[in-house]
Structure 1
């Protein structure tokens, strides 16, 4: 009985003062870290984070429904999150798109200019494929890398490529 009372007390406890004073930028960093730390978040998923007055909004696309639910659960557990709006879309299941994703990953991360990214825990280039249309998101070191990734994504079977890569410089 005592454990139940403690568990309920912890569940109903107010937000700690430190979490309440957390800036939106710091909270966004915590959310991003939680998402990057999710083992099933990969290069074929893309999520953007918005935070305003500790209200978190998640946008983006993931390849499987369980990822949407798992990411939502992870973010809700972060101290300082007052509310969460989950606008993450689940990409339609498609053997064609799945095959394109694999070929695109090989074309981009197999290129000598991008191999160093492939060995990272969270590679920076995300390849979102929906109905044969590709969107590249994430960050690269230079405009040359941005243009090269766009060029490498132009493989047979791809209907269009939208390059939303950002550069560090």
Structure 2
């Protein structure tokens, strides 16, 4: 009986965090919603990728950095198929393969899991609220956190990871207001 109760409590906590993540990055207008929906469905789009977009009429400009070259191709192809999109400009950069950067990525995840308290919830799939971009030892944090404490904690923990040369914290505190 105790196991069932603990399972139910953990399920409730997980679902409440997941609901926050989904709300955190939901765009407001019709075409934005359609493009956003396609991007988060990319099968290999994860916490180490960041794709953003800008809409000008029927032209969608994709930008950001991805860990996997397939995400760049798939993002363009999937967004082209969205109703209302006439043209896609793909300015997504592919991060160079690096064992050094992969080590930093693993260390950041481990640090967030061990010492981050509430930070790990921002990394939950399928639509993480926080994205971690590692490029030649330089870390960029993108996305959303719910409070200033999480913003500061993420910055402090990433700065303390061995091999990190610099941290650019682009996290937005609070829900996205588009």
Change in Cα spacing, 1:53 to 1:117, as seen in structure 2 (3 Å) is: same
Alignment gaps of 5+ in structure 2: 1-27
* 1:120 CA displacement: 4.3
Paired residues of 2:68 and 2:94 also in contact (CA < 8 A):
yes
* Deviation, structure 1 residue 91: 0.6
TM-score by length of 1: 0.81
Q: Does 1:149 align with 2:161?
A: no
1:123 to 128, 131, 150: 128
The residue matched to 2:118 in structure 1 has which SS? coil
Matched, 1:168 2:177: no
The higher-RCO structure (CA 8 Å, 6+ apart) is: 2
Separation of aligned partners in 2, 1:167 and 1:58: 23
Structure 1 residues 95 and 71: CA distance shift in structure 2, 3 A:
same
Contact residue 132 and residue 158 of structure 1 kept, 8 A = yes
Normalised to the residue count of structure 2, the TM-score between the two structures is 0.77
Residues 6-155 of structure 1 mapped to structure 2, 5 A cutoff: 25-110=29-114, 111-154=116-159, 155=161
Following the alignment from structure 2 to structure 1, what is the Cα–Cα distance between the partners of residues 77 and 144? 26
Dislocated runs of 4+, deviation >6 Å: none
Task: Provide the aligned C-alpha RMSD in A.
Answer: 1.6
- Per residue, is there more helix in 1 or in 2? 2
Report SS of the residue matched to 2:45: coil
2: CA distance, partners of 1:50 / 1:60: 11
Residues 49-91 of structure 1: per-residue CA shift (max 9 Å, x gap): 1001121000000012111101111111111101100000001
